[in-house]
Structure 1
Amino acid sequence: MPATETFRIPKHRRHVPAARQYVRKALADWGVTDELADAVTLSANELVTNAVTHCRVSFAHVMVSLTLCGPELVLEVADPDRNRLPRLHAPGPDEEGGRGLALVAALADDWGHRQEPYAKHVWARFRLTGASEGARVPDGS
């Protein structure tokens, strides 16, 4: 049975560090460490930052979910601005931002997004390899 950790943060940049901490703790609890934990945490940082930066819905919350199922870990970030879909683009050398999705694409085995009636979800999938294959799915007891 998959293990899932889900939490919400207010849509504001000052809450991005809290999201990183929640992700890092969940991964540690599951025994996911080293480079994979770093890649997932950095990807979460980028996706949450995008959500709080680009969501135009007032007083919104951003939902972050981690799911550990077999040899795969899925990170998903959702916000209620369903029509502002993420897109990769090539920022100029002088642009401050615009590299987050390229970073997620480089770190994850796969990534994408989906629209639901009241939200969009951006996800990144990571395969467990090496030491992370020993990640433990909590038994619920």
Structure 2
Amino acid sequence: MDGSLWMPTRPWRLPFLADAEQVSSLRRALRIHLEYWGLHELRDAAELCTGELITNVIKHVGPGTPSTLVASLNGPHLRIEVHDPDPRALPTLTCAGPDAETGRGMVLVEALSDRWGVELTGDHKVTWCELRPRAARAGRQVPVPRLARAADVLSLYSGSAPEPQPVDQGRLGAAMAEEAAIDIITDLLYWFRLHGRDPDDMLDQAQARFEAENEPRLS
């Protein structure tokens, strides 16, 4: 299959009620899911942007608003969306003073993301932002379709991204993903053997292809 024609992994969706007490849990849930997608370097910025988008709903639409957090891969970008049912309360950039304790939310999103915006429909709005890994910024090849396919398979083996845990969420999520990845490789080796292929030879071929795809490219 031509990876350039393969659509990125299906969006991850998490419905929630907009509440200040939920912000940290929602940020952790996103962080764990990004572990599955291999987007480690975007975790901190993604968490901060997510917190600000959710806080924007709480402040301008109201606490307890039924909302949805969505993360997806849009080409080389990680796209984060927060859906809420009020198309009238639009986020805006404000010129907060240096001592202001509020009014910095969308300014922070503007600074951390490559782009952001708002989409309106008849009964709700979507506030979104997009971030790119450093490799994509530098023009290097990023195998996003391969990462996305792997994330889809990992979600099948592990059920779904785990719920946030009270301690050590990052390492727990990574350990669960690694265990699922080992199960995938083991099952594929059984599949090769069943079809009369040498599992060691298949591993050698996969390793050779991986190394070829990751060789430095001369500009």
Q: Which amino acid aligns with 1:46?
A: E
**Partner residue in 1 for 2:37:** 30
Q: 2:120–2:126: 8 Å Cα contact kept in structure 1?
A: yes
Q: Give the direction of change, closer, same or farther, for the CA distance of 1:94–1:139 in structure 2 (3 Å limit).
A: closer
Where structure 1 has 5 or more consecutive residues not aligned to the other structure, the ranges are: none
- The structure whose Rg is larger is 2
User: Helix, strand or coil for the counterpart of 1:121?
Assistant: strand
RMSD: 2.0
**2:54 equivalent in structure 1:** 48
Taking every aligned residue pair, what percent have the same amino acid on both sides? 35
Partner of 2:28: 21
What do the CA deviations read for 1:14-64 (whole angstroms, capped 9, x no partner)? 111111011101111111113x211111100111111122114x7521211
Contact 2:19 2:64 (8 Å CA) reproduced: no
Q: Is the 8 A contact 1:13 1:53 kept in 2?
A: no
Q: Which amino acid aligns with 2:128?
A: W
The equivalent of 1:100 in structure 2 is 105
Decide whether the 8 Å contact of 2:61 with 2:89 is kept in 1.
Answer: yes
Show the counterpart of 1:64: 69
The equivalent position to 1:82 in structure 2, one of 72, 81, 87, is 87
- Where does structure 2 lack aligned partners over 5 or more consecutive residues? 1-6, 137-141, 157-219
TM value normalised by structure 2? 0.58
Q: Going by fraction, where is strand more abundant, 1 or 2?
A: 1
- Say which structure is richer in helix: 2
Distance 1:118 1:11 in 2: 17
Q: TM-score, length-normalised on structure 1?
A: 0.88
Count, aligned residues: 139
